[in-house]
Amino acid sequence: MHREMLRAKVHRITVTERNVEYEGSLTLGAEMMKACDMLPYERVDVYDLDNGNRFSTYLIEGRSGSGDCCVNGAAAHLVEQGDKLIVCAYAVVDEAEARGHRPTVVLVGERNRIREVKTEERAATRVRS
Protein backbone atom coordinates (compact mmCIF):
# COMPACT_ATOMS: atom_id res chain seq x y z
CA MET A 1 0.00 0.00 0.00
CA HIS A 2 1.08 3.59 -0.61
CA ARG A 3 0.05 6.79 1.15
CA GLU A 4 0.06 10.39 -0.05
CA MET A 5 1.94 12.43 2.54
CA LEU A 6 2.80 16.08 3.03
CA ARG A 7 6.34 16.44 1.71
CA ALA A 8 6.90 20.17 2.15
CA LYS A 9 4.99 23.25 3.21
CA VAL A 10 5.51 27.01 3.11
CA HIS A 11 3.35 28.48 5.88
CA ARG A 12 1.93 32.04 5.82
CA ILE A 13 3.73 33.47 2.80
CA THR A 14 2.26 36.81 1.68
CA VAL A 15 1.08 37.39 -1.89
CA THR A 16 3.30 40.13 -3.31
CA GLU A 17 1.69 40.23 -6.76
CA ARG A 18 -1.14 38.74 -8.79
CA ASN A 19 -0.95 38.65 -12.57
CA VAL A 20 -3.97 37.43 -14.55
CA GLU A 21 -2.22 37.98 -17.90
CA TYR A 22 0.45 35.38 -17.17
CA GLU A 23 0.10 31.85 -18.59
CA GLY A 24 -0.27 30.31 -15.13
CA SER A 25 1.56 29.12 -12.03
CA LEU A 26 2.90 30.42 -8.73
CA THR A 27 6.23 32.26 -8.57
CA LEU A 28 8.21 31.81 -5.34
CA GLY A 29 11.62 33.24 -4.52
CA ALA A 30 14.48 30.81 -5.15
CA GLU A 31 15.57 30.72 -1.49
CA MET A 32 12.04 29.73 -0.39
CA MET A 33 11.92 26.91 -2.93
CA LYS A 34 15.36 25.71 -1.85
CA ALA A 35 14.45 25.78 1.86
CA CYS A 36 11.55 23.37 1.30
CA ASP A 37 13.16 21.45 -1.60
CA MET A 38 10.44 22.41 -4.09
CA LEU A 39 11.33 22.42 -7.78
CA PRO A 40 10.27 24.49 -10.79
CA TYR A 41 7.18 22.96 -12.42
CA GLU A 42 6.35 20.88 -9.33
CA ARG A 43 2.63 20.64 -8.58
CA VAL A 44 1.52 22.35 -5.38
CA ASP A 45 -1.75 22.94 -3.59
CA VAL A 46 -2.36 26.47 -2.35
CA TYR A 47 -4.63 27.44 0.55
CA ASP A 48 -5.59 31.11 1.06
CA LEU A 49 -5.85 31.86 4.80
CA ASP A 50 -7.71 35.12 4.17
CA ASN A 51 -10.59 33.93 2.00
CA GLY A 52 -10.50 30.13 2.19
CA ASN A 53 -9.89 29.59 -1.54
CA ARG A 54 -7.94 26.49 -2.51
CA PHE A 55 -6.32 25.67 -5.84
CA SER A 56 -3.61 23.56 -7.45
CA THR A 57 -0.91 24.93 -9.72
CA TYR A 58 2.81 24.51 -10.39
CA LEU A 59 5.87 26.49 -9.34
CA ILE A 60 8.14 28.88 -11.17
CA GLU A 61 11.37 29.96 -9.50
CA GLY A 62 11.59 33.68 -8.75
CA ARG A 63 14.61 35.82 -8.00
CA SER A 64 16.76 34.77 -5.04
CA GLY A 65 16.27 36.99 -2.00
CA SER A 66 13.24 38.68 -3.56
CA GLY A 67 10.53 37.36 -1.24
CA ASP A 68 8.41 36.91 -4.37
CA CYS A 69 5.04 35.22 -4.12
CA CYS A 70 3.18 35.96 -7.33
CA VAL A 71 -0.04 34.11 -8.20
CA ASN A 72 -0.38 33.99 -11.97
CA GLY A 73 -3.06 33.19 -14.55
CA ALA A 74 -6.60 32.17 -13.65
CA ALA A 75 -5.67 31.57 -10.00
CA ALA A 76 -4.88 35.29 -9.66
CA HIS A 77 -8.66 35.81 -9.46
CA LEU A 78 -8.69 33.77 -6.24
CA VAL A 79 -6.27 35.90 -4.20
CA GLU A 80 -5.55 39.51 -3.35
CA GLN A 81 -2.18 41.13 -2.86
CA GLY A 82 -1.39 40.85 0.85
CA ASP A 83 -3.26 37.55 1.38
CA LYS A 84 -1.47 34.90 3.45
CA LEU A 85 -1.04 31.52 1.74
CA ILE A 86 -0.04 27.99 2.65
CA VAL A 87 1.76 26.21 -0.22
CA CYS A 88 1.97 22.39 0.04
CA ALA A 89 3.70 19.68 -1.95
CA TYR A 90 2.86 16.02 -1.45
CA ALA A 91 4.62 12.72 -2.18
CA VAL A 92 3.46 9.14 -2.51
CA VAL A 93 5.43 6.91 -0.15
CA ASP A 94 5.19 3.23 0.67
CA GLU A 95 3.63 2.11 3.94
CA ALA A 96 6.92 1.38 5.69
CA GLU A 97 8.35 4.79 4.82
CA ALA A 98 5.12 6.60 5.71
CA ARG A 99 5.37 5.65 9.41
CA GLY A 100 8.63 7.58 9.85
CA HIS A 101 8.07 10.28 7.23
CA ARG A 102 8.65 13.90 8.28
CA PRO A 103 7.83 16.86 6.04
CA THR A 104 9.86 20.04 5.68
CA VAL A 105 7.87 22.95 7.08
CA VAL A 106 9.03 26.50 6.34
CA LEU A 107 7.50 29.18 8.55
CA VAL A 108 7.50 32.61 6.93
CA GLY A 109 7.88 35.95 8.68
CA GLU A 110 7.79 39.60 7.65
CA ARG A 111 8.65 40.49 4.04
CA ASN A 112 8.43 36.77 3.18
CA ARG A 113 11.68 35.95 4.96
CA ILE A 114 12.25 32.45 6.29
CA ARG A 115 11.65 32.49 10.04
CA GLU A 116 12.11 28.79 10.82
CA VAL A 117 12.51 25.45 9.08
CA LYS A 118 11.32 22.35 10.92
CA THR A 119 10.36 18.75 10.26
CA GLU A 120 7.22 18.29 12.33
CA GLU A 121 3.96 19.88 13.37
CA ARG A 122 2.05 19.29 16.56
CA ALA A 123 -1.67 19.57 17.21
CA ALA A 124 -2.91 22.87 18.65
CA THR A 125 0.33 24.72 17.81
CA ARG A 126 -0.33 28.37 17.09
CA VAL A 127 1.88 30.19 14.63
CA ARG A 128 2.86 33.81 15.13
CA SER A 129 1.55 36.16 12.46
Looking at the annotation, which residues are catalytic?
25, 58
3-state helix, strand, coil in the chain (%, to 5): 15, 45, 35
By CB neighbour count within 10 A (0-12 exposed, 13-18 middle, 19+ buried), where does 112 fall? buried
Can you tell me whether residue 33 is helix, strand or coil? Answer: helix
